[in-house]
Structure 1
Amino acid sequence: MQCRLVVFDLDGTLAKSKCQMDEEMSAILQNLLKTKSVGVMSGGSYSQFQKQFLSSLKCNDNNLLKNLFLFPTCSTAFYRFGNGEWIKVYAEALSEQEKRKIFDAFGKVFMGISFSPENVYGEIVEDRGSQVTFSALGQQAPLELKKEWDPDSKKRLQMKALLEKHIPEFEIRIGGTTSIDVTRKGIDKQYGIKQIEKILGFRKEEIIFVGDALFEGGNDYPVRQYGVRCIEVASPEDTKREVLKIISGQF
């Protein structure tokens, strides 16, 4: 079945971790928006989407923006463009009690593995409203340090296994370069795809997902589990090549 919607991860897929997209990626996405609808799903907050994605997309064509759908914090929220502005469709906010439980679980895990980084750049555990996110070296850590910390995801897989013992009622996924995302059970990127089907009317067979964390335990993996066609990439440069194939009709 012909692809009508392409959904992307953000960090490591459209842009380097916590960095803006480059001009070439912006131009490629705007070309894609002329023929396909586009979704972006990421562990980042909506404010991070504004800073990292929308500001670098530099798209002033409202007709194109109507084809763009944003799913921050692993699809716990959904924004779409209408009447000249971005409108929140839903947000699955965590309660204060749920957040405390998640923060406490991280504290226990840190003690259990003696986690104490020498240098920290910003918050290590961040409340994103509908998601709590761990960033090993802090939210603003330099990209080169982040790449070195856990390139094979083994450290985070160990932490994930420990977290699951403390808070089994929550969804825990690895994302980004040094991150672990925690949401309510069942609310993940697969949930986002199901909301796309329900709210926007796309069929699963009409969707292609592009991401770098499609491995088991990664925050893109639930999309693969659901049976959506997936393209695994290792960098934004990989993504550019794959999107050009989509634009040329190879998918």
Structure 2
Amino acid sequence: MTVQNGRIGLWHEHNMVEFMQGAKVVAFDLDNTLARSKKPMHEDMSRLFASLTRLIDVAVITGGRFELVESQVLDVLGECADMSRIHIMPTSGTRYYRWNEGAFRCVYKVDLTQAQRSAAMSSFERHARELGMWEEKVWGERIEDRGSQITFSALGQNAPVEAKERWDPDNSKKNRLASAVAADLPDLVVRSGGSTSVDVSVKGVDKAYAVRKLCAELAIDVSQVVFIGDRMDPDGNDYAAAIIGTRPVRVAGPDDTLKVCARIIEALERP
């Protein structure tokens, strides 16, 4: 167990050979884990990700849309990747895609009603303005309707990574906004998302839900899932998946993930 007093172990604290024994799936967060926010995976990451798919099932569980997983991960994978072993769970697990007949197809989706989506969008705008978070300059959509999730991005969906990282380094802004919006939407779940985002989705559907659904699909136990993410503090959107009995590995960014992947591949290839 790598969760002690609410703390998730850092990647370099694990003996990866022992850690990977009996593992069936390696699951990743996306932004600031596999790649920097909204950016494609680096070539080295793409190569190691593809190598992993030839050794073990691999999942991507992210708050972003499926189209972002396509542009950041799938579009930069080489032909050597085994697509049949890739599981895509976007919008915090409210949707699930598997490779079937030459394309990734939706297995399930848990959408918000139109009334719920409208209420969430209205609440985001009102509270963001009240809290001084309705920024004058934004890049792209500020409030995005993803069907199964409403996402507020303080600087817009396409903001530069450097601007996103400067906006709320201690997560205090996002947490204040999430608390205010949650009070308006008691029947939904509101959580801090990426570096500048807050997400609203159906209650009970989060990254922990995604992990459990994935385990049911593959007929494996939660304890056989290695989950790698950067937001494993109690307010982070990776925390729910980290504390349900998975094998969590906390990273600080894609450079750490690259090292973790290399060690995992080495462990899996040992005779």
TM-score > 0.5, shorter chain as reference: yes
* C-alpha distance in structure 2 between counterparts of 1:115 and 1:79, whole Å: 34
- Structure 1 59/73 Cα, relative in aligned 2: closer, same or farther at 3 Å? farther
Aligned residues: 249
Q: Is the 8 A contact 2:47 2:78 kept in 1?
A: no
Displacement of 1:111 in angstroms is: 3.3
Q: Is the 8 A contact 1:59 1:65 kept in 2?
A: no
* C-alpha distance in structure 2 between counterparts of 1:48 and 1:11, whole Å: 10
Q: Does 1:23 align with 2:23?
A: no
Instruction: Specify the SS of the correspondent of 1:218.
Output: coil
Residues 154-184 of structure 1: CA distance to partner in whole angstroms, max 9, x if unpaired?
1101111111211122112222211111111
Q: Does 1:87 align with 2:105?
A: yes
Displacement of 1:86 in angstroms is: 1.0
Q: Is the 8 A contact 1:233 1:239 kept in 2?
A: yes
* C-alpha distance in structure 2 between counterparts of 1:116 and 1:211, whole Å: 28
Match of 1:40 among 52, 60, 73: 60
Structure 1: 5+ residue stretches without partners: none
RMSD: 1.5
Q: Is the 8 A contact 2:190 2:199 kept in 1?
A: yes
Match of 2:173 among 155, 165, 175: 155
Aligned residue in 1 for 2:3: none
Aligned residue in 2 for 1:146: 164
TM-score, length basis structure 2: 0.88
* C-alpha distance in structure 2 between counterparts of 1:102 and 1:133, whole Å: 9
Aligned residue in 1 for 2:212: 194
Match of 1:50 among 51, 58, 70: 70
Residues 93-130 of structure 1: CA distance to partner in whole angstroms, max 9, x if unpaired?
11111101111211231233133312111111100111
Aligned residue in 2 for 1:246: 264
Instruction: Specify the SS of the correspondent of 1:248.
Output: helix
TM-score, length basis structure 1: 0.95
Structure 2: 5+ residue stretches without partners: 1-20
Percent of matched pairs sharing the same residue: 35
Q: Is the 8 A contact 1:8 1:210 kept in 2?
A: yes
**Aligned partner letter, 1:44:** G
Counting only pairs closer than 5 Å after superposition, residues 112-123 of structure 1 correspond to structure 2 as 112-123=130-141
